[in-house]
Amino acid sequence: MSNEAVDTKITVVALVENEPGVLNRIASMFRRRAFNIDSLTVGRTHKPHISRMTIRVDAGPEYARKIANNLLKLVNVIDVRILDNEPHIERDLALIKVRNDDTESRNTITEICDRYPARIVDVGPKVAIIEMVGTEKFLEEFIEEVRPTGIVEMIRTGVVSMGRGTRIHDTDYQRPDLSRAGAEGANGNGRIV
């Protein structure tokens, strides 16, 4: 794991409207502007109408502003933060299926997992599944240790990140589904205030 690779990645967090097609719009912007996505994760926040994305981009820090500005141009993107300049927590989760069909491999895996915050979540006579959570770098260290034992399958979620402290990244935007109520004759009308 070289530090150089880490230095040329940008961590972007975007709050977006939880609507059909938003992921497509964002992915399309990255493709069109020739930015290379290293990983992209998306999930709902505590507000069901807001999704949050963590996007790791293969680009130098000089592109951070460009990427943020182009994301902000998208109508469904509510807010964007570049996390590289502030203290933040990042986590990546991997499920790794390894060979487990002899004593030696079984012992090696148990030994490695003891030294890492990794758990063996499924064991069979031939293979086992390890779950490992950590920073991207930590995960990659772990994977390199396990690799000689024989990885047969692997999946990673991609990095999710959150800034530390009280600089809260959230939006006040409420989306009451009033367009439909409005259609029935109420005062409220969708996103019009």
Partner 1 sequence: MKLKGSDIIMECLLKEGVHVMFGYPGGAILPTYDAIARYEGRIHHVLVRHEQGASHMADGYARATGEVGVCIATSGPGATNLVTGLATAMMDSSPIVAITGQVPIPAIGSDAFQETDVTGVTLPITKHNYLVTDVRDLAYTMKEAFHIARTGRPGPVLVDVPKDVQTAETEFIYPEGDVALPGYDPPWSANDKEIDDALRLIDEAERPIILAGHGIMMSGAMQEVRELAERAQIPVSLTLLGKGAMPEDHPLVIGMMGMHGEASSNLAIQEADLLLALGMRFDDRVTGNLQTYAKKARKIHIDIDRSEINKNVKVEVGIAGDLKTVLTQLLPKLGQKSHPHWIRRIRDWLEDSSERDILNYETPGILLTAQVINDIWKLTGGDAITVTDVGQHQMLEAQYYPHQRPATLLTSGGLGTMGFGFPAAIGAKFGKPEEEIWAIVGDGGFQMTLCEMATAVQENVNVNIAIINNHFLGMVRQWQELFFEKRYEATPMVNPDFCKLADAYGIPNRLVTKRDEIEDAVNFARSIDGPVLIEFVVEKEEMVYPMVPAGADLHDMKRRPKPGEA
User: Between 70 and 99, how does the x/- string for binding to partner 1 read (CB under 8 A)?
Assistant: x-xxxxxxxx--------------------
* DSSP single-letter state for residue 61: G
Taking CB under 8 A as the binding criterion, the range among 64-72, 99-107, 136-144, 151-159 that sits at the site for partner 1 is 64-72
Q: Taking CB under 8 A as the criterion, which residues in 152-191 touch partner 1?
A: 171, 173, 175, 179-180, 182-185, 189-191
Decide whether 107 or 189 has the Cβ nearer to partner 1: 189
99-115 burial, b for 16+ CB within 10 Å, e for fewer?
Answer: bbeeeebbebbeebbee
CB of 105 to partner 1, least distance (A): 47
Decide whether 69 or 85 has the Cβ nearer to partner 1: 69
**Nearest-angstrom CA–CA distance, 150 and 59:** 32
**Nearest-angstrom CA–CA distance, 7 and 66:** 17
**Nearest-angstrom CA–CA distance, 15 and 79:** 5
Q: Which of 10, 16, 129, 139 binds partner 1 (CB under 8 A)?
A: 16
